[in-house]
Structure 1
């Protein structure tokens, strides 16, 4: 297996990224990634180093196909973990900032957040957050509209009766 095929195996089967997303993370366009995977473009040393650094790939595996695909890190990287979950820069900074707060303040914040969530969201609210299908939404809207029309009709009938009785 050549380096292009290993690159494609890494990107598509292991990292589950499109050429566009993969390229974006290392500063390349999707077309360049496609050309490298197909062998139409050389994978430079610089590119290999970028891929290995960004995705924690074993350079020996990428170059020659020997050894494990990934290097097991000695330490846990919060940044890398959050990036692997597609966190935005803002979300990463938010998480980091949260852990800069003293322990007792963090605990107090989490307790208040928990109380807020429990008091402001009942089971119906949580169920309503699931995505409705078009048919479910249409049925719900039609039922609400029918009830509204019924109420209007009753209101007109009762107001007509009031006029008749008062005459």
Structure 2
């Protein structure tokens, strides 16, 4: 019995997302999504419909606009909040593959600062920002 695809465009967009926008190999993407490479291949190659769970997981994992995935309505990606951006960065920093990296060392040092030391950093930041703005307005 041949399966009928609900909306083959969704299958095509899943492949397009993985290949063209994320640039990730099928096996790695499938593993990240908690499915087998064969299952993802079946979806991408129009042999199976994507499950509701797969669609949800793709949207959550990659901040994909569900309306784009299901209907083709742009934008492809949803805007990322500052909190989400920081959380993503922190997730990358604490990844075991980055053990001992400069990013981990810097975050470790920052985590040990007291309020007075944070204020010194805030003051330095303001000075650097002011200097950068003065340079930018001088170049115009």
TM-score by length of 2: 0.61
Structure 2 residue runs of 5 or longer lacking an equivalent are 1-7, 121-140
Segments of 5+ residues of structure 1 without an aligned counterpart are 108-167
Residues 101 and 73 (structure 1), Cα distance of their counterparts in 2 relative to 1, 3 Å cut: same
Correspondences of 1:9-158 after superposition (within 5 Å): 9-75=16-82, 76-81=84-89, 89-90=95-96, 91=98, 94=104, 97-102=108-113, 104=117
Aligned residues: 104
- The higher relative CO (CA closer than 8 Å, separation ≥ 6) is in 2
RMSD: 2.9
Deviation at 1:70, TM superposition (A): 0.3
> SS where residue 111 of structure 2 aligns?
coil
* Distance (Å, rounded) in 2 between the aligned partners of 1:19 and 1:42: 17
Q: What do residues 53-84 of structure 1 show as CA deviations (whole Å, max 9, x unaligned)?
A: 0000000000111121100112242342466x
Higher Rg of the two aligned structures: 1
Using the size of structure 1 for normalisation, the TM-score is: 0.52
